[in-house]
Structure formats: C-alpha cells, structure tokens
C-alpha cells in the first residue's frame, strides 16, 4: 500500500482553526498522512491571537531532521515561520533533504490583525525560502507586502504574480478573498508562462478563520499524491469553498471552517447542525 505523506512546518493554533491543526485536518481529509514541525505556539481563539511563543531554531531543526531522516515527505508546507532565523534554518533543511515539492503559505497577519511574521523576516522569506518554493499562496495583503506594490484589481494581481515568480517561485497563486469589489472570488495561478483563473461564489460569513492555511494544505496534500499544480489548486478551491459554505458556527469571533464538509459532499452526505 502506497501512502502519500505531507509535512507542515508552521505554528500551533490552540483554537484548532488554523496553523498546524488546520493543516493536519486537511491532510487527513484528503487521504494523506500528515506530520508536523512546530515553529511557535500561539494562545489563540476565534477572537484573536493572545500570545505568540516561538520555539528556538534548534527545536525546529530537530523536528524536521526527525521526519527527514526516517519518514520522509512527499510534499512540504510552510506556514507561520515568525522570524528570519527560523526561515533560514527551514530553508537549509529543505535543501538538505532535497525536498522539491514545497508549498509556501506566507503567513504574516492573523484574522484579528496580530502580526505573525516579524518585519525583518520578510526579506529572509524572499531571499531564502521563496526560491525553493514550488508554489506560493499569498492573499492580496501578503502579495502587496512581498512585492511592494498595491494590488487593486486583477491586472495588478497578474503583475504581482510575475514579480513573485521572478523571486524564483515556480508557481504563484494569489487568492481573491480580500478583493472586496468582486462579487465572485477569483484565485489566480501563474506558472511563469500562463495565467489560470479559478472562480467560486463569495459566501457572506465571518467564519473564515484558517482559510489560508487550509487552502495551502489542500494544495500540499494533492501535490503529495502526485497531482498537477492546476489540479491541486482546483481541488483546494473546491475544498475551501465547501469548508466555508457549511458553517459550523463555533466561537464568538471569526469561527473556523468545516474541514470535513468537502468529503461529506463527495460521499453525498448532507451536513446537519
């Protein structure tokens, strides 16, 4: 029996909606064995991030070494890396184990506005990690931070994607969730030559905590199984659409998405509160 494996290198969300917890749930739902290396522990719930406690770079390295030297991984996802030292050692480990299927979710700001990446770490992300990435999945504010340009429309997203590709990233996905003027969501994929567009219906809900993590984790899971980037993004769009649509309504703030909704739909089951 061949089992596909994915490693997430990210922060822990005590509320369970984002970070390591969202990634592992997504891997499981997409039939991939999930493993983790935790970069930071957060005290977090639907109301916001109440504390961030980064691990040492050595602690992160030892977790990655434990996976790479024994279990191996078919795809890697990075999420919250917090500082430049962690970014640099993660990049070194990716090169050490010759991992080429690397999906980078450039986590910078939490839903409630808390910073999850130190300012000095942005350059480290651009210089060390993005050149190793098979896919990078910024939302619009993250794309603006990484490119230094304002992104106001789809043409701007195309330009930003080309800039990000010039950093060495093989495929760029700029998500459309922050494009308030659009009645529908349009996620853009640029492979260095062509643009592809994935359209989905915008859903009016505040319960979108962890959508970025979940979306990138779905891409990672599909890539781990050997799917093409286009097919992986297509599945991720469908996965997150169902996760948002089938609202589970937890917490007092930005609630988490429903990670089991996609598979329930595929099995022809109806979610009931």
Active site residues: 175, 208, 210-213
Tell me how far apart the alpha carbons of residues 152 and 141 are, in angstroms, rounded to a whole number: 10
Annotate 77-107 with three-state secondary structure: EECCCECHHHHHHHHHHHHHCCCCCEEECCC
What is the number of alpha carbons within 13 Å of residue 62 lying toward its C-beta? 5
Closest listed residue to residue 83, CA positions, set 45, 128, 19, 43: 128
Tell me how far apart the alpha carbons of residues 264 and 18 are, in angstroms, rounded to a whole number: 20
Tell me how far apart the alpha carbons of residues 113 and 105 are, in angstroms, rounded to a whole number: 17
Tell me how far apart the alpha carbons of residues 154 and 72 are, in angstroms, rounded to a whole number: 38
Name the phi and psi angles at 249, rounded to 5.
Answer: 60, 45
Tell me how far apart the alpha carbons of residues 128 and 195 are, in angstroms, rounded to a whole number: 25
Asked if residues 40 and 59 have their Cβ atoms less than 8 Å apart, the reply is no
């Amino acid at each position: 029996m061949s089992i596909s494996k994915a490693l997430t290198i990210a922060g822990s969300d005590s509320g369970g909606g984002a970070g390591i917890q969202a990634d592992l749930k997504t891997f499981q739902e997409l039939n991939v064995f999930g493993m983790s290396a935790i970069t930071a522990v957060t005290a977090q719930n639907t109301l916001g991030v109440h504390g961030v406690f980064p691990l040492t770079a050595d602690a992160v390295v030892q977790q990655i070494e434990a996976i790479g030297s024994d279990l191996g991984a078919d795809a890697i996802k990075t999420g919250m890396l917090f500082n430049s030292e962690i970014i640099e050692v993660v990049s070194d480990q990716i090169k050490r184990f010759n991992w080429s299927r690397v999906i980078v979710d450039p986590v910078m700001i939490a839903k409630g506005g808390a910073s999850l990446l130190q300012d000095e770490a942005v350059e480290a992300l651009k210089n060390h990690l993005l050149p190793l990435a098979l896919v990078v999945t910024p939302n619009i504010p993250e794309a603006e931070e990484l490119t230094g340009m304002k992104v106001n429309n789809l043409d701007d997203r195309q330009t930003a994607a080309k800039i990000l590709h010039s950093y060495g990233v093989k495929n760029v996905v700029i998500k459309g969730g922050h494009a308030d003027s659009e009645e529908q969501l349009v996620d853009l994929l640029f492979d260095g030559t062509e643009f592809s567009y994935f359209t989905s219906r915008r859903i009016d809900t505040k319960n979108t905590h962890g959508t970025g993590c979940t979306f990138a984790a779905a891409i990672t899971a599909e890539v781990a199984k050997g799917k093409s980037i286009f097919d992986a993004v297509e599945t991720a769009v469908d996965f997150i659409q169902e996760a948002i649509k089938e609202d589970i309504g937890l917490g007092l703030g930005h609630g988490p998405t429903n990670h089991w909704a996609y598979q329930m739909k595929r099995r022809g089951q109806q979610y009931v509160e």
